[in-house]
Structure 1
Amino acid sequence: MIEQSRVLVLNRTYEPINVCNARRAIRMMISGKADTVETNGLLVRSEAMEFHLPAVIRLRTYVYVPRRSQIPFSKKNVMRRDENTCQYCGAKGGYLTVDHVLPRSRGGRSTWENVVCSCRRCNAKKGDRTPEEARLKLNKQPHKPKSFIFHHLNYRFPQAVQQVWEKYLQPTPLA
């Protein structure tokens, strides 16, 4: 159980930097390197101690994490950003593709800000028109993902992302 449980690791500044198993998280807490921020409600006991199994921990000291390069633009990453959901009708799964909001025939480019996930039906309905001309409304405006770690954690550990992590994984607005 402890080996399968995943724990979100936050820097001292509450910035997500990693995911580890619960055993490692407990070792960091015992050694005084981290504090529990959120628990998952389970209790772990040893002969000398008992712990609530952590879901999120925060390091006591700041750890420098070099910024990685930007998230590369690709169909796969657009699908990830849009959570495999049609941005016009909200359909999930099935046959999904990407759609240029401003069609390429009208000068639209393949950029984060102009491409969204779309189901076959909505893509065919929109065709070579803008969403307004096709009487379709975007559920979310397309945007360039801001946080590599947000992207990395959400898609490297999709089964491990717990609801309690969501508030820590939200991209922070730039001031």
Structure 2
Amino acid sequence: MGKVLVLNASYEPLNLTSWRRAVVLLLKGKAEQLEHNGKLVYTQFPLPTVIRLRHYVRVPYKEIPLTRRNILERDNNMCQYCGTRNEQLTLDHVLPRSRGGPETWENIVAACVRCNVRKGSRTPREANMPLNRHPRRPHSSLHFELTRHLQGDRNQEWKKYVIGA
């Protein structure tokens, strides 16, 4: 049946939950249904795809760790120079470490071995290798999960609630 996008009372994405948990929140009056896909849970009760909590839930900010896996996930497992998708991607420092390039979300991208070697210890401009997309820090860990669920034609009704989708 799929996942349901849960929005805070302020309409910001909070998390993804199972359709069963979403139905329980609706029946208890803790949430309201904003979107559905036309399927029915039972007569006159459409299966929710987006719900909004009635009361605001304060969520503590959680730093997303800068790891190889998270960088590859952010970059869709794709070389940010040539667009190649394969299993053997490396991490490249946009401003090379040899020039004082920091270990930050904004300075590291996924790159295929060929592009990483070709770029060497130069900047993308010096190597004449523009980035397909400039690196940035993800908004939240939910960002990764939402991106995965929004691929293709799935969950199109979520797009108006998710920034950058």
Residue 108 (structure 1) aligned with residue 101 (structure 2): yes
How far does the alpha carbon of each residue in 1:116-171 deviate from its partner, in whole angstroms, 9 at most, with x for none?
Answer: 011122112211211112111111111122334324x448xx46873433443326
C-alpha RMSD over aligned residues = 2.2
Out of 1, 7, 10, which is 1:10 matched to?
7
The structure-2 alpha-carbon separation of the partners of 1:106 and 1:160, relative to structure 1 and needing over 3 Å to count, comes to closer
The structure-2 alpha-carbon separation of the partners of 1:170 and 1:42, relative to structure 1 and needing over 3 Å to count, comes to same
The structure-2 alpha-carbon separation of the partners of 1:170 and 1:93, relative to structure 1 and needing over 3 Å to count, comes to farther
Q: What is the Cα deviation at residue 63 of structure 1?
A: 1.6
**Secondary structure class of the residue paired with 1:102:** coil
The structure-2 alpha-carbon separation of the partners of 1:136 and 1:168, relative to structure 1 and needing over 3 Å to count, comes to same
Residue 27 (structure 1) aligned with residue 24 (structure 2): yes
How many residues in Structure 1 have an aligned counterpart in Structure 2?
161
Question: For the Cα contact (< 8 Å) 2:150–2:156, is it kept in 1?
Answer: no
2:36 is aligned with what amino acid? Answer: T
- Normalising to structure 1: TM-score of the pair? 0.81
- Normalising to structure 2: TM-score of the pair? 0.85
Question: Unpaired runs of 5+ in structure 1?
Answer: none
The structure-2 alpha-carbon separation of the partners of 1:135 and 1:160, relative to structure 1 and needing over 3 Å to count, comes to closer
1:71 is aligned with what amino acid? Answer: I
The structure-2 alpha-carbon separation of the partners of 1:167 and 1:81, relative to structure 1 and needing over 3 Å to count, comes to farther
Question: For the Cα contact (< 8 Å) 1:9–1:58, is it kept in 2?
Answer: yes
How far does the alpha carbon of each residue in 1:74-97 deviate from its partner, in whole angstroms, 9 at most, with x for none?
Answer: 211111111211111122233111
Question: For the Cα contact (< 8 Å) 1:6–1:160, is it kept in 2?
Answer: no
Question: For the Cα contact (< 8 Å) 1:9–1:16, is it kept in 2?
Answer: yes
**Secondary structure class of the residue paired with 2:35:** strand
Match of 1:130 in 2: 123
Out of 65, 69, 72, which is 2:59 matched to?
65
Which of structure 1's runs of 4+ aligned residues deviate more than 4 A? Answer: 158-161
Q: Within 5 Å, which residues of 2 pair with 1:71-150?
A: 71-150=64-143
Out of 42, 48, 51, which is 1:54 matched to?
48
Match of 2:40 in 1: 43
The structure-2 alpha-carbon separation of the partners of 1:38 and 1:72, relative to structure 1 and needing over 3 Å to count, comes to same
Question: For the Cα contact (< 8 Å) 1:8–1:56, is it kept in 2?
Answer: yes
**Secondary structure class of the residue paired with 1:19:** strand
